[in-house]
Structure 1
Amino acid sequence: MLTNELNEKKIHILKVAEKLFAEKGFEGTSIRSISKEAKINIAMISYYFGSKESLLESLILYKISDLKQELENLSKENLQPVDKVNKLIELYINRINCNRGVFRIMHFEMTSKKSSDRKKVFTEIKMNNLEIIERIIREGQEKGVFRKDIVIPLLTPTILGTYFNFFINKEFYEELLDLKTEKKFNAYINNNLTKHIQQTIKALLVYEN
């Protein structure tokens, strides 16, 4: 379900569902609780989304469906391989940082034993994005800029793992780096942490001098 297919009420329901799913998990959140929080009749939620499973899928697609298009556009830009990868990292970190709730939900669902059907949806999204990332890296390899022995599927967890480790230890880094406000914390992620990840990935990709 794409953004232009959603009306104001549907978007409101999705935002409430995102908040409750992130707080209580998918299994711990009921349609009734979403209805109460959103101040919308249960029948309307069922009419719009059918089931809680379909609501979750709609939420994920609503929040990240345009990422594939952004990656497609990036893969076609006339940039040097390193610059293209740096832009890719900026795109990923910004998207994750703005949608922490959704990524928390996805992580919970991917590790749950009760969500095999939903896992297929999330896995398909990941595979589509990985194909574009591979295309970007292959281009750099063909130009002789990137190493040939890179395990491309490990690049994404390297990027995401660094971000999530930093965020999970938020209180520690707020104290250590004097990031006492949300504005300072987010600014550090967008600038310093992003640059650190770019340098890390570049060290993995580029031949040593």
Structure 2
Amino acid sequence: MEFNEKKVKIMGVAESLFAKKGFSGTSVREIAKKANVNVAMISYYFDSKEKLLSSILLYKGDYLKSKIDSILKDNATNMWQKLDWLIDEYVAKFVLNQSLHRIILRENSLQDNLYLREFVNQRRLEHYKMIRDFVIKGQELGVFKENVDLIMLYSLLPGTTKHTVFNEDFLKLMVKEETGEDIGQECLKKRTQEHIRNCFRLFLEKD
């Protein structure tokens, strides 16, 4: 799917409204008014509100895929450096786009939104395949350990990231309780990145 300037503007407006009012609580008419376009243009570009949200996911997700494809071709960095970058980038983008992920989490739990659930599951599957193929390449090169449960290894990445982002206040409270420190989101993000990198190394490093 191609994204021109007008499409990107509409998606940006829609994302902010979805985050503020919820997907179900936002109408196409509201999006059109805020984006200074007519309803017909939104229907022409996206067909429906569900497909507008899925287009936002595609737009944000395609960036990560293109970056991963690019770094895999970079012969100046080794597989461990690439893995560290991949994890850091995933966590950073999740934190940056957390309002979108909250929308997805909320809407994906609704039983009547079958289209969105199926779309989100397909995007998650694509992310898993990117990580899986990366690890397999490292195994073929003799860098990563073989006989690793790739499904559970991958689950560490979105699972830990979601827990950190969606429970930020509680985690800050725990850190305060244990260390007496008041930490910000940036510190928590870096701590999450480091922890996931260490976990992946623990499972992938050869004995």
Same fold (TM over 0.5): yes
Using the TM superposition, give the Cα deviation of residue 56 of structure 1 relative to its aligned residue in structure 2, in angstroms.
1.3
Cα distance change of structure 1 residues 47 and 203 upon mapping to structure 2, 3 Å threshold: same
User: Using the alignment, how far apart are the partners of 2:161 and 2:137 within structure 1?
Assistant: 26
Evaluate the alpha carbon distance shift between residue 205 and residue 49 of structure 1 in structure 2; reply closer, same or farther with a 3 A threshold.
same
For 1:204 and 1:22, how far apart are their aligned partners in 2?
Answer: 36
Render the CA deviation track for 1:122-142: whole Å, top value 9, x for unaligned. 333333332232222112223
Tell me which stretches of 4 or more aligned residues in structure 1 moved more than 6 Å.
Answer: none
Instruction: Return 30-39 or 129-138, whichever deviates more.
Output: 30-39
Structure 1 position 187, deviation (Å):
4.6
The answer to whether the 8 Å contact 1:68/1:128 transfers is no
Higher relative contact order (Cα pairs below 8 Å, separated by 6+ residues): 1
Structure 1 residue aligned with 2:165:
167
Counterpart for residue 185 of structure 1: 185
Deviations 1:119-175 (A, max 9, x none): 333333333332232222112223444332212122332112212212222223345
Code of the aligned partner of 2:132? E
Instruction: Please tell me the root mean square deviation across aligned C-alpha atoms, in Å.
Output: 2.4
Q: Which amino acid aligns with 1:197?
A: I
State the SS of the aligned residue for 1:66: helix
**Residues 1:46 and 2:50 aligned together:** no
- Give, in angstroms, the shift of residue 18 of structure 1: 1.0
* Contact 2:10 2:35 (C-alpha < 8 Å) held by counterparts: yes
Which of residues 110, 113, 134 is equivalent to 1:112? Answer: 110
Specify the code of the residue in structure 1 equivalent to 2:185: F
Distance 1:207 1:115, change over 3 A: same
Residues 47-102 of structure 1: CA deviation (Å, up to 9, x unaligned): 43222122112211122222222222223333333222111101211211111122
**Contact 1:134/1:152 (CA < 8 Å) preserved in 2?**
yes
Q: Aligned residue for 2:156?
A: 158
Count of residue pairs brought into register by the alignment: 200
Q: Which amino acid letter does the alignment assign opposite residue 144 of structure 2?
A: F
Superposition map of 1:34-183 within 5 A: 34-78=31-75, 79-175=77-173, 176=176, 177-179=181-183
> 1:14: how far off?
1.1
Looking at structure 1, the residues matched to 54 and 161 of structure 2 have their Cα atoms a distance apart, in angstroms, of: 24
For 2:142 and 2:45, how far apart are their aligned partners in 1? 51
Q: TM-score, normalised by structure 2?
A: 0.81
Alignment match, 1:31? 28
Deviates more, 1:143-152 or 1:191-200: 143-152
Would you say the 8 A contact 1:63–1:102 is kept in 2?
Answer: no
- TM-score by structure 1 length? 0.81
- The letter of the residue matching 1:120 is E
- Which structure 2 segments of 5+ residues have no match? none
Task: Tell me the distance in 2 between the aligned counterparts of 1:192 and 1:42.
Answer: 44
Query: Does the 8 Å contact 1:26/1:109 carry over to 2?
Result: yes
